């Protein structure tokens, strides 16, 4: 009997093609650091990020990961004498990714909230910003009160959602008593432009980035905002030593001026 | 345009995932689903029942949930000392899901074959295995090709679900570029890529189907 | 004796299909089993070919038991033995059950090439002879859907003959045929009998029974 007939050869060829297609994607296996907190100093840590979150972590024209958070994380890694691995994740899965040990840090414009503190440990805050209220330039809305009965939208699973719900009765006052949530700010701003949303709640950092891209003159930022917020790095609760080490390094980076260098690279001085 | 300088290389990267997941799922699922269909039709009630439950679970829950469960879920089951990598989890979830759907199609296909074909083989002293491979399966394949074709096309689009595990297929590539440039163009571009893939597959499936049109 | 059947009985639940049927056939003998539809003729034929099991009785083909009644219980031969015994008895189905995805010749070659009792050359030669003898030469590369009822039946006969059975069973051979082809089929059956094959025909067609001659059993409830 012929072992290699034409058909089995074709099948083999197909298998090879698939293997080579998928091998291009490095198949890392989930780290099990979740179960072994005593093993603090590893060769590498995996930074989980949503790679569509400009300017904190996103892809540049060449598809490379860039952003404020990437630079900051790389600086930390440099000082630890290692390199971090950046793993894109789906943002809705971030805490699950962390707590199942598939990533070691959530580090991508991760806003510190009380609710999230129950699930992860936060580093000391490394960036502050406001939740802005944005409308089209020609709109007549000017204050938080004007949001009553309007279509208000933002990015789902984001700190803007938390900020909106933190104001008693605010979301209930919106049209249909709901806050419209989109997967990304890109869709949020598209919806505003299309005239379906009246007002957008957005992280200051992001809002300014998107407005710059889409043409600042088209938008109006209300004077009132939904308060100050802070970004921190999420670390597994089982890794207190890692958190302490990270906090110390972040403190060093701030004190010796490296932080300001990175900041001025990504944000305007005012 | 500037956008395409970023979009095209990222789409090509994404295509590796989209096509890789697509081919791996098909190549593994199709033979597996024929075996599962036979198990589902087994005279052994326990085997048939277990296979039925498997198919029920796979068809009764979203593929997205299955992806999440296979990648994250094992962590929450005590005493399971392993976890799948992202790509392993994706292939396992897709294969399990598509095998279930394809198995039901093959079961229908096998069931639609005239009992007389089996009996003709029986009186000719053909073995069950030979009967299945040479007489039944070729006729089943002809009968189920339209339904299988449907699943194949659906699979192309289902590959976009890998985003939940942070893996970048062509849709995710479009999303990344769209965010960087704040433009909708990448989505239109990737929509066209999907249509092109589907056009090629439709042509291939038609060719394959016409290979079986020599008899009725 | 080529075929000896003793005291065959079968029922589905309370419904008696047939009971206590016995007969024997010599080489080249023709037996017609007559009866109205629904009187178990086809079931009887299917039992002879082990497509269905019996409740009672023994079947002996060329001195080998297909099944044997011992103390009121029917013991069937082992799978291995069945495979051998079965090759001695062929079956031409009422609806022929040709393989639709194979040509006439491929239909003929499939089983002998699987069973490998002859060399490939011998099998091919035998198929060509049967195709010629059954007047199928112009159709040997056609698919079943391209054939008339009579042609399909001749292919079914040729396919059964490829295994050189000593008994050939026909289930309602005239049901799908017009008068002219009916004459053809009785001629073919007589020729087969003349070559020493024992023939069993199940039919409700009295005219055909008369034309074909041979022994007759009439099933009655």
Nearest chain B Cα distance for residue A68, angstroms: 14
Which of A110-146 are b and which e, b meaning 16 or more Cβ less than 10 Å from the residue's Cβ? bbbbeebeebbbbbeebbebbbbbbbbeebebeebeb
Q: What is the mean pLDDT of chain C?
A: 91
From chain B, pick out residues whose CB is under 8 angstroms from the CB of C145. Answer: 215-216
Is pLDDT above 80 for B1? no
Query: For residue B212, what is the nearest residue in chain C, using CA coordinates?
Result: C101
More confident: A23 or B147 = B147
- Of C86, C110, C115, nearest to B123 by CB-CB distance is C86
What's the average model confidence in pLDDT over B32-48?
Answer: 96
Q: Give yes or no for A257 touching B (CB within 8 A).
A: no
- Ordered by start, the domain boundaries in chain A are 33-126+232-266, 129-228
What's the average model confidence in pLDDT over B106-129?
Answer: 95
Homologous superfamily in CATH for domain A33-126+232-266: Periplasmic binding protein-like II (3.40.190.10)
- Of C90, C98, C114, nearest to B126 by CB-CB distance is C114
Distance CA(B205)–CA(B146), nearest Å, equals 8
Task: Identify the H or E element spanning C215.
Answer: strand C215-218
Write down the pLDDT at residue A30: 39
**What is the pairing mode between strands A52-53 and A57-59?**
antiparallel
Q: What is the mean pLDDT of chain B?
A: 93
Residue partners of A69: CB distance under 8 A and separation at least 6: A49, A56, A57, A107, A108, A109
CB neighbours of residue C210 within 10 Å: 10
- Three-state SS for chain A is CCCCCHHHHHHHHHHHHHHHHHHCCCCCCCCCHHHCCCCCCCCCCEEEECCEECCCEEECCCCCEECHHHHHHHHHHHHHCCCCEEEECCHHHHHHHHHCCCCCEECCCCECCHHHHCCCEECCCCEEEEEEEEEECCCCCCCHHHHCCCCEEEECCCHHHHHHHHCCCHHHHCHHHCCEEECCHHHHHHHHHCCCCCEEEEEHHHHHHHHHHHCHHHEEEEEEEEEEEEECCEECCCCHHHHHHHHHHHHHHHHCCHHHHHHHHHCCCC
Residue partners of B38: CB distance under 8 A and separation at least 6: B110, B132
Cβ atoms C86, C50 nearer than 8 A: yes
Cβ atoms A75, A262 nearer than 8 A: yes
Range 86-145 of B in CB contact (< 8 A) with C: 114, 116-117, 119-120, 122-127, 130, 134-135, 138-139, 142
**Rounded to the nearest 5 degrees, what angle is found at the Cα of B81, between the Cα atoms of A106 and B60?**
80
Residue partners of A114: CB distance under 8 A and separation at least 6: none
Distance CA(B119)–CA(B42), nearest Å, equals 18
From chain A, pick out residues whose CB is under 8 angstroms from the CB of B87. Answer: 22, 25, 27
Cβ atoms C214, C29 nearer than 8 A: yes
From chain A, pick out residues whose CB is under 8 angstroms from the CB of B182. Answer: 186, 189, 210, 213-214
- Of B72, B87, B182, nearest to A214 by CB-CB distance is B182
Please compute Rg for chain A using Cα positions: 22
Residue identified by tokens 């090629």 is B200
**What is the band of B157 on the pLDDT scale with cuts at 50, 70, 90?**
very high
Range 142-171 of C in CB contact (< 8 A) with B: 143-145, 159-160, 163
Write down the pLDDT at residue A12: 65
CB neighbours of residue A171 within 10 Å: 16
Distance CA(A12)–CA(A20), nearest Å, equals 12
In chain A (270 residues long), the average pLDDT of successive 10-residue segments reads: 57 66 47 41 88 83 88 96 94 91 93 91 92 89 88 87 86 90 86 91 81 80 86 94 95 94 74
**What is the pairing mode between strands C56-61 and A85-88?**
unpaired
More confident: C169 or A10 = C169
Q: Distances in Å between the alpha carbon of A104 and those of A37, A50, A85, A100?
A: 11, 14, 10, 10
Write down the pLDDT at residue A110: 92
Homologous superfamily in CATH for domain A129-228: Periplasmic binding protein-like II (3.40.190.10)
Write down the pLDDT at residue B199: 97
| Binary contact (B119, C97; C-beta < 8 A) | yes
User: Please, how many CA atoms are within 13 Å of residue C3, restricted to the half-sphere of its CB?
Assistant: 28
**What is the band of B50 on the pLDDT scale with cuts at 50, 70, 90?**
very high
| Binary contact (C90, B120; C-beta < 8 A) | no
Fold of B18-170: MetI-like fold (1.10.3720)
Is pLDDT above 70 for C26? yes
pLDDT in tens, C73-82: 889 999 889 8
CA dihedral A176, A177, A183, A186 (to 10 degrees): 80
Distance CA(B200)–CA(C149), nearest Å, equals 42
The percent of residues in chain B predicted with pLDDT above 70, rounded, is: 98
| Least confident piece of the model among B197-211, C48-62, C171-185 | C171-185
- Of B124, B212, B216, nearest to C163 by CB-CB distance is B124
Range 206-225 of A in CB contact (< 8 A) with B: 210, 213-214
Query: For residue B211, what is the nearest residue in chain C, using CA coordinates?
Result: C101
Q: Which two tokens stand for residue C204?
A: 């409700």
Bridge partners (DSSP) of residue C56 are: C9
**Cβ-defined contacts of C209-215 (< 8 Å, 24+):** C209/C32, C209/C34, C211/C186, C212/C30, C212/C32, C212/C186, C213/C30, C214/C29, C214/C30, C214/C31, C214/C32, C215/C23, C215/C25, C215/C29, C215/C30, C215/C31, C215/C32
Write down the pLDDT at residue B76: 79
- Neighbouring subunits of A (3+ Cβ pairs under 8 A): B
Q: Give yes or no for A51 touching B (CB within 8 A).
A: yes
Q: Report the first-to-last Cα separation within chain A, whole angstroms.
A: 79
Q: Give yes or no for B206 touching C (CB within 8 A).
A: no
**Rounded to the nearest 5 degrees, what angle is found at the Cα of A220, between the Cα atoms of A214 and A225?**
115
Range 169-188 of C in CB contact (< 8 A) with B: none
Distance CA(C61)–CA(B122), nearest Å, equals 17
Bridge partners (DSSP) of residue A86 are: A47
Distance CA(A154)–CA(A187), nearest Å, equals 9
Task: Identify the H or E element spanning B165.
Answer: none
More confident: A160 or B116 = B116
- Neighbouring subunits of B (3+ Cβ pairs under 8 A): A, C
User: Please, how many CA atoms are within 13 Å of residue A224, restricted to the half-sphere of its CB?
Assistant: 10
From chain A, pick out residues whose CB is under 8 angstroms from the CB of B176. Answer: 51-52, 58-59, 63
Q: Give yes or no for A173 touching B (CB within 8 A).
A: no
Task: Identify the H or E element spanning C217.
Answer: strand C215-218
Is pLDDT above 90 for C205? no
Query: For residue C85, what is the nearest residue in chain B, using CA coordinates?
Result: B125
Q: Give yes or no for A99 touching B (CB within 8 A).
A: yes
| Binary contact (B123, C51; C-beta < 8 A) | yes
Q: Distances in Å between the alpha carbon of C111 and those of A29, B126, C162?
A: 51, 6, 8
From chain B, pick out residues whose CB is under 8 angstroms from the CB of A61. Answer: 2, 5-6, 180
Q: Give yes or no for B4 touching A (CB within 8 A).
A: no
Distance CA(A191)–CA(A182), nearest Å, equals 9
Q: What is the pTM of this model?
A: 0.82
| Binary contact (C93, B116; C-beta < 8 A) | yes
Is pLDDT above 90 for C133? yes
Cβ atoms B173, B190 nearer than 8 A: yes
- Ordered by start, the domain boundaries in chain B are 18-170
More confident: C180 or C133 = C133
Write down the pLDDT at residue A29: 40
Q: Which two tokens stand for residue B104?
A: 């039901």
Distance CA(C137)–CA(C106), nearest Å, equals 13
Q: Give yes or no for C97 touching B (CB within 8 A).
A: yes
Longest dimension (CA), chain B: 71
| Binary contact (A99, B179; C-beta < 8 A) | no
Write down the pLDDT at residue A21: 62
Of A103, A51, A245, C158, nearest to B177 (Cα)? A51
Distance CA(B109)–CA(B143), nearest Å, equals 6
Task: Identify the H or E element spanning C75.
Answer: strand C73-76
More confident: B191 or B3 = B191
Is pLDDT above 80 for C37? no
What's the average model confidence in pLDDT over B34-53?
Answer: 97
Sheet holding A57-59, edge to edge: A52-53, A57-59, A65-66
Query: For residue B138, what is the nearest residue in chain C, using CA coordinates?
Result: C101
């Amino acid at each position: 009997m012929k072992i290699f007939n034409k058909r089995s050869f074709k099948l083999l060829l197909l298998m090879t093609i698939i293997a080579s297609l998928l091998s291009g994607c490095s198949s890392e296996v989930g780290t099990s650091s979740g179960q072994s907190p005593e093993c603090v100093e590893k060769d590498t840590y995996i930074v989980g990020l949503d790679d569509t979150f400009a300017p904190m972590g996103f892809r540049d024209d060449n598809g490379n990961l860039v952003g404020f958070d990437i630079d900051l994380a790389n600086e930390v890694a440099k000082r630890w004498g290692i390199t971090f691995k950046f793993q894109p994740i789906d943002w809705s899965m971030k805490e699950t990714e962390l707590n199942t040990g598939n990533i070691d840090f959530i580090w991508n414009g991760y806003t510190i909230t009380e609710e999230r503190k129950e699930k992860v440990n936060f580093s000391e805050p490394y960036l502050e910003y406001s939740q802005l209220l944005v409308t089209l330039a020609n709109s007549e809305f000017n204050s938080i009160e004007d949001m009553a009965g309007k279509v208000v939208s933002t990015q789902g699973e984001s700190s803007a959602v938390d900020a909106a719900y933190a104001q008693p009765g605010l979301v209930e006052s919106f049209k249909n008593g709901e806050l419209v949530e989109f997967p990304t700010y890109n869709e949020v701003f598209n919806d505003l432009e299309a005239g379906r949303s009246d007002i957008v709640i957005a992280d200051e950092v992001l809002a300014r980035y998107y407005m710059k891209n889409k043409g600042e003159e088209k938008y109006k930022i209300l004077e009132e905002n939904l308060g100050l917020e802070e970004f921190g790095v999420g670390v597994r609760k089982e890794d207190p030593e890692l958190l302490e080490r990270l906090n110390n390094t972040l403190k060093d980076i701030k004190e010796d001026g490296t932080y300001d260098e990175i900041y001025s690279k990504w944000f305007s001085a005012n | 345009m500037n956008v395409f300088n970023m979009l095209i290389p990222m789409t090509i990267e994404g295509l590796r995932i989209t096509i890789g997941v697509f081919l791996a799922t098909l190549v593994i699922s199709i033979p597996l689903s024929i075996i599962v269909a036979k198990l589902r039709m087994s005279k052994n009630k326990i085997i048939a029942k277990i296979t039925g439950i498997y198919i029920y679970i796979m068809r009764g829950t979203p593929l997205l949930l299955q992806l999440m469960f296979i990648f994250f879920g094992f962590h929450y089951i005590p005493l399971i000392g392993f976890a799948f990598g992202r790509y392993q989890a994706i292939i396992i979830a897709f294969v399990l899901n598509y095998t279930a759907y394809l198995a039901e199609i093959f079961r229908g296909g096998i069931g639609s074959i005239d009992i007389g074909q089996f009996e003709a083989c029986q009186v000719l002293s053909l073995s069950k295995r030979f009967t299945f491979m040479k007489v039944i399966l070729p006729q089943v394949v002809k009968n189920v090709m339209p339904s299988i074709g449907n699943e194949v096309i659906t699979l192309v689009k289902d590959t976009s679900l890998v985003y939940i595990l942070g893996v970048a297929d062509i849709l995710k590539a479009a999303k990344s570029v769209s965010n960087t440039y704040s433009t909708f163009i990448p989505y239109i571009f990737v929509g066209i890529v999907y249509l092109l893939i589907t056009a090629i597959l439709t042509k291939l499936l038609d060719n394959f189907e016409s290979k079986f049109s020599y008899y009725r | 004796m080529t075929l000896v059947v003793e005291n065959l009985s079968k029922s589905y639940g309370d419904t008696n299909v047939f009971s206590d049927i016995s007969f024997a056939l010599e080489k080249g003998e023709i037996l017609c089993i007559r009866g109205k539809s629904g009187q178990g003729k086809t079931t009887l034929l299917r039992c002879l070919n082990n497509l269905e099991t019996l409740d009672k009785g023994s079947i002996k083909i060329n001195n080998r038991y297909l099944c044997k009644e011992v103390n009121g219980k029917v013991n069937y031969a082992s799978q291995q033995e069945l495979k051998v015994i079965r090759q001695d008895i062929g079956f031409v189905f009422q609806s022929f059950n040709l393989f639709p995805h194979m040509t006439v010749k491929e239909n003929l070659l499939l089983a002998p090439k699987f069973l490998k009792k002859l060399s490939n050359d011998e099998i091919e030669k035998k198929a060509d002879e049967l195709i010629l003898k059954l007047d199928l030469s112009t159709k040997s590369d056609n698919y079943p859907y391209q054939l008339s009822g009579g042609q399909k039946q001749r292919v079914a006969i040729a396919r059964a003959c490829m295994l050189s059975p000593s008994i050939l069973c026909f289930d309602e051979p005239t049901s799908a045929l017009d008068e002219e082809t009916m004459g053809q089929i009785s001629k073919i059956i007589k020729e087969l009998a003349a070559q020493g094959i024992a023939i069993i025909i199940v039919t409700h067609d009295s005219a055909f029974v008369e034309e074909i001659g041979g022994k007759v059993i009439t099933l009655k409830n």
